A and B are shown apart, each in its own frame.
Chain A
Amino acid sequence: MPLNESGNVNPKQPMPLINAAECKGCERCVEACPAKCLRISDKLNCRGVKAVEYIGKGCTGCGICFYNCPEPYAIVIDKP
Chain B
Amino acid sequence: MLAIDPAKKLSFNRLISNGDLVIVYERHDNMKAVTVSEGSVLQNRFGVFKHSEWIGKPFGSKVFSNKGGFVYLLAPTPELWTLVLSHRTQILYIADISFVIMYLEVVPGCLVLESGTGSGSLTTSLARAVAPMGHVHTFDFHEQRAGSARDDFERTGLSSLISVRVRDIQGEGFPSEFAGLADAVFLDLPQPWLAIPSAAKMLKQDGTLCSFSPCVEQVQRSCETLQNCFTDIRTFEVLLRTYEVKEGKMENLNGDNNDSNGSLPCKRRQRSDGSYAPDTSVSSVMARPCGEARGHTGYLTFARLKCL
Q: Tell me if chain B binds chain A.
A: no
Interface residues of B (CB under 8 A from A): none
